[in-house]
């Protein structure tokens, strides 16, 4: 089993010393760097590069520079997606965003985690678990979403939150660790 296959299976894998994964990250990061260097007025090339970087995107997408990800091929973005400056997606596993997702500045989505065992960690081993963000979700600035988390439809994540566990539909959640503080009524 290759390191990439181990990663996809959710097993410990070696991301630091595997040539295939290193090369894939280099290619993706070169594209991200090119994207980040484009003028904001160059919408055509910005969209062209996003289509090269991200596995699946719709027409109405805006990611303000700077934007960084590891592979790109694990990212799926729905319709009407907006991410403010300094978006980081460590997409060792799938990262899916639904429709009408709005992301504040300095937000990060981390699918990668590292073992607690020092020996395994020092060998360069890590694991990856997918992240899923539903439809109509708003994430405030400086939000961090950790491996394996799902955020439900119509939910709002407050600025500065660290999302360590799943968040249900139709709630406001804030804090570190992020916790539900309010249900959102349908009439709102």
The catalytic position among 8, 29, 76, 114 is: 114
Question: Can you spell out the DSSP letters for 102-158?
Answer: EE-TT-EEE-EE--SSHHHHHTTEEEE--EEE-TT-EE-TT-EE-TT-EE-TT-EE-
Q: Which of 130, 172, 166 is nearest to 151 (CA)?
A: 166
Cis peptide before 127 (omega within 30 of 0): no
Q: Which of 57, 87, 88 is nearest to 75 (CA)?
A: 57
85 is catalytic: no
- What's the rounded Cα separation, in Å, for the pair 87 and 51? 16
The pair of structure tokens assigned to 73 is 């091929």
Q: Which of 164, 35, 166, 153 is nearest to 101 (CA)?
A: 153
Q: Which residues are known catalytic residues?
A: 114
């Amino acid at each position: 089993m290759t390191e990439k296959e181990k990663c996809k299976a959710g097993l410990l894998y070696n991301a630091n010393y595997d040539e295939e994964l290193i090369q894939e990250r280099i290619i993706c990061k070169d594209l991200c760097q090119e994207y980040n260097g484009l003028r904001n007025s160059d919408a055509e090339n910005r969209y062209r590069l996003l289509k090269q970087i991200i596995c699946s995107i719709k027409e109405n997408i805006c990611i303000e520079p700077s934007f960084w990800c590891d592979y790109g091929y694990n990212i799926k973005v729905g319709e009407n997606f907006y991410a403010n400056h300094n978006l980081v997606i460590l997409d060792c596993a799938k990262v899916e965003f639904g429709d009408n997702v709005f992301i504040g500045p300095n937000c990060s989505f981390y699918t990668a985690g590292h073992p607690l065992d020092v020996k395994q960690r020092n060998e360069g081993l890590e694991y990856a678990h997918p992240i899923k963000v539903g439809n109509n979700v708003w994430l405030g600035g400086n939000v961090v979403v950790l491996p394996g988390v799902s955020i439900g439809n119509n939910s709002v994540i407050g600025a500065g939150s660290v999302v360590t566990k799943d968040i249900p539909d139709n709630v406001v959640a804030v804090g570190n660790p992020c916790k539900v503080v309010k249900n959102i009524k349908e009439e709102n």
